[in-house]
Amino acid sequence: MLFLLALLPAFPALVAASCGGSATPISMIQGRGDTSPLVGHRVTVEGILTLDARMKGGFSGFYLQQADTETDGNPETSEALFVYTRKPTGTSGERLRVTGTVKEFHGLTELVSVKNIKSCGPAPLPKARVLSLPSPHDLESLENMRVRLAQPLTVIDSWNLARFGELTLAANDQVVPTEYLTPGPKAVTAAARNRQQRLLLDDGRGVRQPEPIPWPPGGLRSENTVRSGDKIHDISGILDYRFGAWRIQPERPPVFQPVNTRAPAPARPDTAHVRVMAMNLENYFNGDGEGAGFPTPRGAPTALALETQHQRLVEALRQPDPDILAITELENDGYSETSAIAQLTRALGPEWSFVATPGADGNDQIRTSLLYRHDRILAEGQPLRLASGPFIRQGRPPLAQVFRSDGKGLAVQVVVPHLKSKSCRGATGKNKTRHDGQGCYAHRRSEAARALVQWLEQPPKIRDFAGTLITGDLNSYFQEEPLQVLRHAGFTSMVHHFHPCNAQQCDHYTYRYKGEKGSLDYALASPSLMPRVLHASTWAINADEPPALGYKNNLPGTTTSPWRSSDHNPVITDIQL
């Protein structure tokens, strides 16, 4: 750095001159490190405008890159920078001479306080550098330069699509490390590696809630979606760094390839069986049950949003043609005609009934519930709620009910839990994060799993009992401690049994979070029930869809369908009884 500063007086670039005069090389401004060695210095540079972002809602500036014939030939230094100015001189493909002050803005090297810009006429754009993911080079050496991706990239997250016009991309889909690795240092390292091997596809604008939503081309709507797992080809533009992430500001729209297409509900087997479907409803609250009471505490903000949510959930719950529904995140508001469970049951049809446990549902705003086709299934004996361990004073008590097909044959006990989430809000003591990949409240979830195992040690005293199916939201990935507790007690995850998951391939999952996919929802069979499970799978209707298509947004053009009816994919289990 001292060497570079000593050289500065040799560059008359510090004084503006005519086109072609002496100028400070952009590579010298960028330097070899994360920050410029010339921060605070006033310099004059000359280069080619590659992308103009001075439009309304843009970044109030443009990207300037050294001509190919003027580079320093050092692959460790970038040949471009961002010029922060609203001065209108220059268009893409024009050579400019700019005088300004070097600044680092949240990791982005730029020129600010621009004194003047002089046009030097048209010039060929610098050749785009080829970039691959994972990159063998430090991306800092390509900051603000024209690049093109050597391979198609996979969409792994669309959380900020409607908020900032961003999609998160990687070479391949990324799996939550604790889905296949024991929580600990290896899982933490794998998660960090996942984060390092990503790029954002941006929209070249700095506005919130862009209209229209830019991706996919043509604007996001129900029938023109982009799903996580889809591929994007022909990505080229400026490699930019903003808000803590590397991103591509595209020069032209890339090509979207919908490889993760929407699939129909899994077909029912030909063999006589009972189908159990578990689904997190993403806070199904129905206001006061009579069209008012909005916004609800956790669910729909308006009556219109509730109608959208209600219609989509009904489609999602009907299409697989289940016999038993194990649901979570249902409003805990009793069992009257205006309750959420009564409204949902009526919508499913007159052949549906719900299991009621008044006074035993706990004090949480949401609860677990069971619904069933009374024309196919008989609910036998009394339903039970777990009220020991962590569920004495807190949490959502798991619900258990025995069912028998047509009132004949073997009986199965279905248990629906919903364990504490990974959110760190209010976490203290043992429930704070262990920094091992499990998030907060791992201790409480593990204690809940132990209480569940102890509760189920004694099977129901009924004739012809086939076994127990635990199915619901455990808020834990497959290798995390609560699943280990249940596995050691003899319960087997049937989705993982039929569809093993590893870092390279994980086709059945229920949730996506910050670009990684895995399972939070399960169908766990007891040893006696496991041989009777014909199949278990997930139905990818929710986790891969952009959150912008969810019921709270109600985007124009969305239709009544199962797509993005919730944020969790349902788990479907077929049992031969």
Q: Residue 450 burial by CB count (10 A; 0-12/13-18/19+): exposed, middle or buried?
A: middle
Q: What is the mean pLDDT of the chain?
A: 94
Helices of type H across 74-182 = 161-164
The beta strand positions in 411-461, using DSSP E, are 411-416
pLDDT band at 14 (very low <50, low <70, confident <90, very high): very low
The lowest-confidence range among 237-251, 271-285, 542-556 is 542-556
Backbone φ and ψ for 82, nearest 5 degrees, come out as -100, 135
Average pLDDT over residues 433-459: 97
> pLDDT tens digits, residue range 329-381?
999 999 999 999 999 999 999 999 999 999 999 999 999 999 999 999 999 99
Sign of the dihedral through C-alpha 361, 364, 370, 371: positive
pLDDT of residue 136: 74
- Tell me the C-alpha distance between 489 and 457, whole Å: 9
Domains 2-122 and 274-575 share a fold: no
* pLDDT exceeds 60 at position 298: yes
pLDDT tens for each residue of 311-322: 999 999 999 999
Name beta bridge partners: 241: 246
Helix axes 303-318, 340-348, angle to 10 degrees: 50
| Domain regions of the chain by residue span | 2-122, 129-257, 274-575
Q: How many CA atoms lie within 13 A of 20 on its CB side?
A: 3
Residues in the chain: 577
pLDDT at 15: 43
Cα–Cα distance for residue pair 19/21, rounded to 1 Å: 6
487: helix, strand or coil: helix
CA pair distance 233, 229, nearest whole angstrom: 13
Give the three-state DSSP class for 538: strand
Architecture per CATH, domain 274-575, reads as 4-Layer Sandwich (3.60)
Nearest to 222 by CA among 557, 566, 547, 543: 557
- DSSP three-state, residue 499: coil
- For residue 71, count other CB atoms closer than 10 A to its CB: 17
* pLDDT over 50 (residue 5): no
**52 confidence band (pLDDT: 50, 70, 90):** very high
| Model confidence pLDDT, tens digit, residues 64-96 | 999 999 999 999 999 999 999 999 999 999 999
Return the CATH number of the domain spanning residue range 2-122: 2.40.50.140
509-520 in b/e form (b: 16+ CB < 10 A) is bbbbbebbbbbb
pLDDT digits (tens, 9 = 90+) for 534-574: 999 999 999 999 999 999 987 765 567 999 999 999 999 99
The pLDDT confidence band at residue 50, using thresholds 50, 70 and 90, is very high
Which of the four pLDDT bands, split at 50, 70 and 90, describes residue 4?
Answer: very low
Residue whose C-alpha is closest to residue 503's, from 230, 186, 176: 176
Contact 360, 322 (CB under 8 A): no
pLDDT the model gives residue 427? 97
End-to-end CA distance of the chain: 76
Residue 17's pLDDT band (cuts 50, 70, 90): low
Tell me which of 561 and 408 has the higher pLDDT.
561
What's the rounded Cα separation, in Å, for the pair 156 and 171? 9
pLDDT tens profile 146-160: 999 999 999 999 999
pLDDT tens-place string over residues 102-135: 999 988 999 999 989 999 999 999 999 999 998 8
Eight-state DSSP code of residue 472:
E
Mean pLDDT value of segment 472-493: 98
Residue 468 host element (H or E):
strand 465-473
Report the pLDDT value the prediction gives residue 546, as an integer from 0 to 100: 97
Q: Above 60 in pLDDT, residue 284?
A: yes
**Confidence at residue 558, expressed as pLDDT on a 0 to 100 scale:** 58
pTM: 0.93
Cα 445 to Cα 102, 274, 390, 476, distances in angstroms: 51, 29, 9, 8
In this predicted structure, the answer to whether residue 469 has a pLDDT above a threshold of 50 is yes
Of the pLDDT bands very low, low, confident and very high (cuts 50, 70, 90), residue 11 is: very low
Distance, in Å, from the CA atom of 99 to the CA atom of 111, rounded to the nearest integer, reads 8
Q: Which CATH architecture has domain 129-257?
A: Beta Barrel (2.40)
Res 393: pLDDT: 85
